[in-house]
Amino acid sequence: MATMKIKKGDLVKVIAGKDINNEGKVIAVNAKNNTLLVEGINMVTKHTKPSMSNQQGGIVHQEAPIDASNVMLIHDGKPTRVGFKMDGDKKVRFAKSTGKVID
């Protein structure tokens, strides 16, 4: 399994799909399925039944996963591709547009 280029907390821009050109913060990353949950992106309506934990039930709006290939990381205010390089003995992410280390 390849390393995910996007991490939780990153700011990303959607480059494909119904929410194209929107930006949001990554809430969760699922490396196994190569998907992300992005704040305010790919919103779906979920109908929930009343239960013991949720007495009210009703309609809930929540984020659905989006494929990692449909987003680009925003670095210095611009979308950029992400690469990996060795910094001493540590593997770090860097922005391919500027060459700067991201983390």
Looking at residue 1, what is its pLDDT? 57
Q: Does 101 map to a domain? A: no
**pLDDT, tens digit (0-9, with 9 covering 90-100), for 71-102:** 999 999 999 999 999 999 999 999 999 999 99
11, with CB counted inside 10 A (0-12, 13-18, 19+), is middle
- Establish if 44 belongs to a structural domain: yes
CB 8 within 8 A of CB 28: yes
Residue 33 in any domain: the answer is yes
DSSP class of 48: E
Report if residue 102 sits inside a domain: no
At 5, the pLDDT band (50, 70, 90 cuts) reads very high
Query: Does pLDDT of 3 surpass 90?
Result: no
Q: What percent of the chain is modeled with pLDDT above 90?
A: 91
CATH at residue 34: 2.30.30.30
Q: Where are the alpha helices (DSSP H) in 34-76?
A: none
For residue 13, what pLDDT band results from cuts at 50, 70 and 90?
A: very high
Domain total in the chain: 1
Q: d(Cα 84, Cα 4) in Å, to the nearest integer?
A: 10
Residue 70's domain spans which residues? 11-49+57-95
Q: Taking the model in full, what pTM does it have? A: 0.86
Is there a domain that residue 77 lies in?
yes
pLDDT digits (tens, 9 = 90+) for 28-63: 999 999 999 999 999 999 999 999 998 998 999 999
Three-class SS of residue 95? strand
Looking at residue 91, its pLDDT comes to: 94
Say if 32 falls within a structural domain.
yes
